[in-house]
Amino acid sequence: MPGFTVSFHPEDRFFAFLRTVGEISCREGRLSGIPVAVKDNISTAGIETTCASRILEGYIPPYDATVVERLKNEGAAIAGKTNMDEFGMGTTTENSAFGPTRNPVDPSRVPGGSSGGSAAAIAAGLVPLALGTDTGGSIRCPAAFCGIVGLKPTYGRVSRYGLIAYANSLEQIGPMAANVTDANLLMGVIAGHDPRDSTSLDFPYLHTPDPEIRGMRIGVPEEFFGEGVDPRVASVVWEGISLLERKGAEIVTCRMPSMAYALAAYYVTCTSEASSNLARFDGVRYGPPADTKKTWHESFQERRRDGFGEEVRRRIMLGTFTLSSGYYGKYYAKAQAARNQVRADFERLFREVDVLAGPTMPTVAFKFGEKSDPLSMYLSDILTVPANLAGVPAISVPCGRVEGLPVGLQIMGRWMEDERVVDVGYAFEQGVSR
Amino acid sequence: MITERDTEHIGQLADIAIHREELAAFTSRFNEILEYFDLLDQVEVVESIEGRECNVFREDEVIPSLSQQDALANTREKEEGFFRAPRVM
């Protein structure tokens, strides 16, 4: 197939990229020559991939993730690797070992995280499309903070093969773009069955967004406007929901009692999975080498102390503790029971309504250093983690501003109804732009 | 309540060394977070609802895989086609 070359030399003023590819060879396809930014926890053959961690500095993957393979097959130009919170652990991109990304809307504020580099690259106009990953909100949070669109697909809809795992049962790769149409296009390219990911499902995504939402029932859980949600953000989001009502949707207020435990269930689950997943980083097969003169444990412990940032070490240790004998029943087992309650709540609500709507984040983008203690940072994920716990699709679309800073409207849908959340997002976007 | 000794012990289990001067801060953060996790005490563990997860099996077929050269490409510590690791004993 005839190929061609695309040049990519952006002026990256917000440190969205950890590295870029100057000259990119592409082929013809649906994304011919379109530069696509890829989060740095997604494997790209021949392009350094670090998860924004010192422990993977210099690691060059020998193979492409399935999503990257699919992008290349459609002619996309893999433009570079975007900054992120180390291993996806954070809500601001401040946890990158290589320094934070700044929010193009207001450079004194964080872009959100963990896919902050991908969101900033789009918001700054450096690329039209980017891949993020979402374990507990890591696509939707930066999309909301930077005023762009981000979709967390249904769990299993997009292959995780080649994604450097942090919390396998929660995370999905998803599209980020300036508008719903572009996010939909990217979703169509990356979704589909992959035998190399045993959780991959065979539901191709072939969809053209439809803005007709007359008669659709939109549930609004009271808990999404509860304690901790900035009233100014709540007000902007309610205005957005009213717009959907004016377009013919029926708004139904409802309750989601499992929200009380969702965040704790999420953090116990993700740290437990992280403690196992990140055991592979030992300095033997990749990354800066371990000292082979020392004993195994001594060398391993030192390598990991120096290679991982503070938050990553905290989460690995938390997960080690919550899975340890004597505490498993108190933490992990309870978290799984709470996770089932979240799933049950979604299933009950989705018998009555077609989608759920609310704010993506409780506040607008934080100032740098504003969330200095880890627990207050964790608490800001409260509105995004339920969709990950249940594996259902959720999109964030820009829905207005508070003091000049973007606010995201989140639409969550039934399992495998990614198309419907895209449609509602599209209907909203069309309504706003008229 | 976790003590600094517990934190050191967890670090050992997780194979992560902690600098002495970090110990107090790590311990107090752990306690704040674990106190929050205590919310889960109120959750009743009942018979779980049917999850969608199931085991996925495939035929055990030999398919093309990484070459030895590619597999070793990211390490500096190698010897005669093997990874060189710290001593275990």
Task: For residue A305, give the nearest of B16, B83, B84 by CB distance.
Answer: B16
What is the spatial distance between Cα A135 and Cα A164, in angstroms, rounded to a whole number? 12
What is the spatial distance between Cα B33 and Cα B36, in angstroms, rounded to a whole number? 5
Q: Does B88 touch chain A (CB under 8 A)?
A: yes
Q: Which residue of A has its CA nearest to B30?
A: A318
Contact at CB, A261 and B88, closer than 8 angstroms: no
* Closest chain B C-alpha to A428 CA, distance in angstroms: 31
Q: Does B69 touch chain A (CB under 8 A)?
A: no
Is a pLDDT exceeding 90 seen at residue B51? no
Q: Does B78 touch chain A (CB under 8 A)?
A: no
Q: Which residues in chain B have their CB less than 8 angstroms from residue A294's CB?
A: 86
pLDDT value for B59: 86
Contact at CB, A292 and B85, closer than 8 angstroms: yes
Task: For residue A321, give the nearest of B10, B22, B51 by CB distance.
Answer: B10
Is a pLDDT exceeding 60 seen at residue B9? yes
Contact at CB, B18 and A374, closer than 8 angstroms: no
Q: Does B82 touch chain A (CB under 8 A)?
A: no
Contact at CB, A321 and B30, closer than 8 angstroms: yes
Task: For residue B33, give the nearest of A195, A318, A335 by CB distance.
Answer: A318
pLDDT value for A325: 87
Cβ A104 vs Cβ A71: under 8 Å: no
* Closest chain B C-alpha to A375 CA, distance in angstroms: 6
* Closest chain B C-alpha to A104 CA, distance in angstroms: 32
Contact at CB, B40 and A261, closer than 8 angstroms: yes
What phi-psi label fits residue A64: left (phi over 0), alpha (psi between -120 and 50 degrees) or beta?
Answer: beta
pLDDT value for A307: 97
Higher pLDDT, B60 or A75: A75
Strand partners, A396: A150, A410
Closest CA to A381 of A402, A409, A360: A360
Known catalytic residues of A are: 39, 114, 138
Q: Which residue of A has its CA nearest to B88?
A: A296
What is the spatial distance between Cα A336 and Cα A264, in angstroms, rounded to a whole number? 10
Contact at CB, B88 and A308, closer than 8 angstroms: no
Contact at CB, B30 and A295, closer than 8 angstroms: no
* Closest chain A C-alpha to B55 CA, distance in angstroms: 8
Is a pLDDT exceeding 90 seen at residue B57? no
What residue spans define the domains of chain B?
4-42
Cβ A92 vs Cβ A85: under 8 Å: yes
Q: Which residue of B has its CA nearest to A59?
A: B74
Structure tokens, A429 = 């976007």
Is a pLDDT exceeding 80 seen at residue B49? no
What is the spatial distance between Cα B48 and Cα B32, in angstroms, rounded to a whole number? 29
Contact at CB, A375 and B33, closer than 8 angstroms: yes
pLDDT value for A291: 87
Q: Which residues in chain B have their CB less than 8 angstroms from residue A320's CB?
A: 10, 13-14
Q: Which residue of A has its CA nearest to B29?
A: A374
Contact at CB, A322 and B43, closer than 8 angstroms: no
Q: Does B14 touch chain A (CB under 8 A)?
A: yes
Give the pLDDT band (50/70/90) at residue B58: confident
Q: Does B24 touch chain A (CB under 8 A)?
A: no
Q: Which residues in chain A have their CB less than 8 angstroms from residue B4's CB?
A: none
Would you give per-residue pLDDT tens digits along chain A (434 residues)? 569 999 999 999 999 999 999 999 999 999 999 999 999 999 999 999 999 999 999 999 999 999 999 999 999 999 999 999 999 999 999 999 999 999 999 999 999 999 999 999 999 999 999 999 999 999 999 999 999 999 999 999 999 999 999 999 999 999 999 999 999 999 999 999 999 999 999 999 999 999 999 999 999 999 999 989 999 999 999 999 999 999 999 999 999 999 999 999 999 999 999 999 999 999 999 999 888 889 999 999 999 999 999 999 999 999 999 999 899 999 999 999 999 999 999 999 999 999 999 999 999 999 999 998 999 999 999 999 999 999 999 999 999 999 999 999 999 999 999 999 999 999 999 988 76
What residue spans define the domains of chain A?
7-434
Q: Which CATH class is domain A7-434?
A: alpha beta
Each residue's pLDDT tens digit, B14-46:
999 999 999 999 999 999 999 999 999 999 887
What is the spatial distance between Cα A117 and Cα A88, in angstroms, rounded to a whole number? 11
What is the spatial distance between Cα A354 and Cα A219, in angstroms, rounded to a whole number? 7
Three-state secondary structure readout of chain A: CCEEEEECCCCCCCCCEEEECCEEEEECCCCCCCEEEEECCECECCECCCCCCHHHCCCCCCCCCHHHHHHHHCCCEEEEEECCCHHHCCCCCCCCCCCCCCECCECCECCCCCCHHHHHHHHCCCCCEEEEEECCCCCHHHHHHHCCEEEECCCCCECCCCECCCCCCCCEEEEEECCHHHHHHHHHHHECCCCCCCCCCCCCCCCCCCCCCCCCEEEEEHHHHCCCCCHHHHHHHHHHHHHHHHCCCEEEEECCCCHHHHHHHHHHHHHHHHHHHHHHCCCCCCCCCCCCCCEHHHHHHHHHHHHCCHHHHHHHHHHHHHCCCCCCHHHHHHHHHHHHHHHHHHHHHHHHCCEEEEECCCCCCCECCCCCCHHHHHHCCCCCHHHHHHCCCEEEEEEEEECCEEEEEEEEECCCCHHHHHHHHHHHHHHHHC
Contact at CB, B40 and A60, closer than 8 angstroms: no
Closest CA to B42 of A260, A387, A322, A263: A260
Q: Which residues in chain B have their CB less than 8 angstroms from residue A333's CB?
A: 45
What is the spatial distance between Cα A390 and Cα A374, in angstroms, rounded to a whole number? 24
